[in-house]
Amino acid sequence: MSAEPPAFPPHPNSPDLSHIAPRDKAEILAEALPYIRRFHGKTIVIKYGGNAMTDPALQQDFAEDVVLLKLVGMNPVVVHGGGPQIDEALAKVGKKGTFIQGMRVTDDETMEVVEWVLAGQVQQDIVGLINAAGGKAVGLTGRDGGLIRARKLKMLDKNDPTKEHDVGQVGEIESIDPSVVKALQDDQFIPVISPLGFGGNNENYNINADVVAGKLAEVLKAEKLMMLTNISGVLDKQGNLLTNLSAREIDDLFADGTISGGMMPKIASALDAAKNGVNTVHIIDGRVPHAMLLEILTEQAYGTMIRSH
């Protein structure tokens, strides 16, 4: 009698694991079990960006990881950025991005492009990838279900705090109503959220995706916030990876200048989340295939974990 065919045919891009001995495969699966048990039913907010978002092989890995987390009983929520894609779209319409203190100046025309890229192209690409990997993803913006209420960001000059820069339709979060996200989670869907908010007079706002991910993780009382980046994690002054830090140790690294420059806003969002109820925040290297899965389901560190205490 012939063996039954597998219920799910192997994915065309699946790696060949025939060289791994059965005992080793069993050990790998057994190692994941306590983590699956511990995080079953827990919410995991994932900030998706960097190479993981632009390299086709890593995109596929990411989608498979998200689907697997959902299938083993966790509740992944994806928040995405899209800086490079926005720059590309602006260039196509002959517009050059302007930045003040690292913040994109968002006039009316830029805002139209930002909305089209984030809520259209990027979000739908991610939804499609997750669905193709066997999940049920649903795209949301901050408007859907009144998810992200925002106001215009007041940006003070870093050298002269009495001076304020106008960065256009860039918002800061006023409040988050997570009911639409919770309803989707309870219904086996995977929410994919674009970092766009709305104001009291129905204005549109572009919001930093790291900030949205951090605040959403707080409001959802997430077990973990995973931030995929293009670096291996938080490094000390000698360039060594710091894998396990408390919120207080992060404060010290800010104070002595170890954390500076482009990493500051990302780590600041991570730190806020850790101080406001998110159990652990992970800054992980999105250039490593399946880094997120390895970080959650194994002992091995693939980035920096920030503990709430």
Task: Kindly provide the residue ranges of all beta strands, DSSP E only, lying in 194-250, ordered along the sequence.
Answer: 196-198, 204-206, 224-229, 244-246
Q: What is the pLDDT of residue 130?
A: 96
Task: Give the confidence band of 13 by pLDDT, cuts at 50, 70, 90.
Answer: low
Phi, psi angle pair for 104, to nearest 5°: -70, 125
Contacts of 198 (CB under 8 A, 6+ apart): 142, 143, 146, 148, 149, 150, 204, 205
Q: What CATH architecture is 40-307?
A: 3-Layer(aba) Sandwich (3.40)
Q: What is the pLDDT of residue 78?
A: 97
Angle between helices 56-71 and 123-132 (to 10 degrees): 60
Task: Give the confidence band of 169 by pLDDT, cuts at 50, 70, 90.
Answer: very high
Is residue 98's pLDDT more than 90? no
Task: Give the confidence band of 8 by pLDDT, cuts at 50, 70, 90.
Answer: very low
Task: Give the confidence band of 103 by pLDDT, cuts at 50, 70, 90.
Answer: confident
80/302 Cα distance (integer angstroms) = 20
171: tokens are 């918002």
Residue identified by tokens 């998110």 is 278
Q: What is the pLDDT of residue 48?
A: 94
Per the annotation, binding residues are 82-83, 104, 206
Residues in the chain: 309
152/169 Cα distance (integer angstroms) = 7
Q: For residue 93, count other CB atoms closer than 10 A to its CB.
A: 10
Task: Give the confidence band of 230 by pLDDT, cuts at 50, 70, 90.
Answer: confident
Is residue 290's pLDDT more than 50? yes
Q: Looking at residues 120-132, what average pLDDT do you find?
A: 95
Is residue 3's pLDDT more than 80? no
| Most distant CA pair in the chain, distance | 82
Is residue 149's pLDDT more than 90? yes
- Residues 284, 292 contacting (CB under 8 angstroms): yes
**What secondary structure letter does DSSP report for 87?**
H
- Residues 269, 291 contacting (CB under 8 angstroms): no
Q: Looking at residues 257-276, what average pLDDT do you find?
A: 79
> Any idea which of 9-23, 44-58, 66-80 has the lowest mean pLDDT?
9-23
pLDDT tens sequence across 194-210: 999 999 999 999 999 99
User: What percentage of the chain has pLDDT greater than the value 70?
Assistant: 93
- Residues 32, 65 contacting (CB under 8 angstroms): no
Residue 223 to residues 41, 42, 75, 217: CA-CA distances in angstroms?
Answer: 10, 6, 10, 8
The pLDDT mean for the chain works out to: 87
Q: What is the pLDDT of residue 17?
A: 59
Q: Looking at residues 117-142, what average pLDDT do you find?
A: 95
Task: Give the confidence band of 148 by pLDDT, cuts at 50, 70, 90.
Answer: very high
49/213 Cα distance (integer angstroms) = 11
Calculated CA dihedral for residues 231, 237, 242, 246, nearest 10 degrees: -120
Q: What is the pLDDT of residue 187?
A: 84
Is residue 38's pLDDT more than 70? yes
Please tell me the pTM assigned to this model: 0.89
43: tokens are 């919410």
Per the annotation, binding residues for substrate are 82-83, 104, 206
> Any idea which of 236-240, 249-253, 261-265 has the lowest mean pLDDT?
261-265
281/306 Cα distance (integer angstroms) = 5
Contacts of 254 (CB under 8 A, 6+ apart): 264, 267
168: tokens are 């256009």
Task: Give the confidence band of 261 by pLDDT, cuts at 50, 70, 90.
Answer: low
Residue 20 to residues 15, 82, 290, 297, 301: CA-CA distances in angstroms?
Answer: 11, 37, 18, 19, 22
Q: Looking at residues 85-104, what average pLDDT do you find?
A: 86
Helices (H), the chain: 22-39, 51-54, 56-71, 83-92, 108-115, 123-132, 179-186, 209-219, 247-255, 263-275, 291-297
